[in-house]
């Protein structure tokens, strides 16, 4: 009779691989969603180039630039946290993950002030000033609030995801040997960054 041998941690390896595959499939659906929105934006921009250009002057390039730097930095910190945990530096990994969550909060605070300025000027869909805009400009602001709002929702979800991982790392449920959850949170966060890297030039740098 042949004996069957099971390699140590082989079950954890299979679970990690299946979890990562599931995350990649989920990210692919997210890319399809935003890819479709980017196509819609580009079509309407091609139909209303002057109106989109004029409306883009209402956006704050400095605020958009700061948020871009914040998210790029957060991508670095989440990637470094994975490396730190793999090397057994749990405390450093926790600090780096907390820095990533802090970056998400900074991004949302800046975005709040930016949105608030647009709402104060009546540029939010449904407001009186918005309703009096030419069709092309009102379309620009509709797409701006919808797409950046959807992205902001992903930022919030990503920050919550990382916060959950922080708790699990703190309780040693996620370790250097069982790191798939942290890696998946990093993949999700990189997606958030990539989406913003496309949103920033499309809306802020038209001119």
* pLDDT tens sequence across 56-107: 999 999 999 999 999 999 999 999 999 999 999 999 999 999 999 999 999 9
Separation in Å, CA 173 to CA 43, 165, 180 = 47, 9, 11
- Cα separation, 55 vs 144, whole angstroms: 10
If one looks up domain 70-207 in CATH, what number appears? 1.20.120.80
Q: What is the mean pLDDT of the chain?
A: 92
Residue 4 confidence class, pLDDT cut points 50, 70, 90: very low
Instruction: Give, in order, the Cα–Cα distances in Å from 112 to each of 85, 119, 145, 148, 203.
Output: 33, 10, 12, 11, 17
> Is 80 exceeded by the pLDDT of residue 125?
yes
Give the pLDDT score at 109: 98
Domain spans of the chain, in order of start: 70-207
Asked whether residue 21 carries a pLDDT value surpassing 90, the answer given is: no
Confidence of residue 20 (pLDDT cuts 50, 70, 90): confident
User: Does residue 6 carry a pLDDT above 60?
Assistant: no
pLDDT bin (cut points 50, 70, 90) of residue 7 is very low
Distances (CA, A) of 189 to 55, 134, 200: 30, 37, 17
Q: Which residues of 140-171 are buried (b: 16+ CB within 10 A; e: fewer)?
A: bbbbbbebbeebbebbeebbebbbebbebbee
d(CA 31, CA 94): 29
């Amino acid at each position: 009779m042949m004996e069957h041998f099971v390699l140590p941690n082989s079950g954890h390896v299979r679970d990690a691989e299946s979890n990562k595959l599931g995350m990649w499939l989920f990210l692919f659906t997210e890319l399809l969603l935003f890819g479709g929105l980017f196509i819609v934006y580009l079509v309407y921009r091609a139909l209303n180039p002057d109106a989109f250009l004029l409306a883009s002057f209402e956006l704050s390039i400095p605020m958009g630039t700061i948020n871009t730097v914040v998210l790029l930095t957060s991508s670095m910190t989440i990637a470094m946290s994975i490396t730190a945990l793999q090397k057994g530096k749990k405390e450093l990994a926790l600090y780096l993950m907390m820095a990533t969550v802090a970056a998400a909060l900074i991004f949302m605070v800046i975005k709040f002030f930016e949105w608030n300025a647009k709402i104060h000027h009546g540029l939010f869909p449904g407001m009186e000033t918005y309703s009096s805009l030419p069709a092309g400009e009102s379309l620009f602001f509709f797409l701006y609030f919808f797409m950046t709002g959807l992205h902001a929702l992903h930022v919030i979800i990503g920050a919550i995801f990382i916060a959950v991982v922080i708790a699990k790392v703190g309780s040693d449920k996620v370790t250097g040997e069982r790191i798939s959850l942290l890696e998946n949170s990093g993949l999700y966060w990189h997606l958030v960054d990539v989406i913003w890297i496309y949103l920033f030039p499309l809306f802020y740098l038209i001119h």
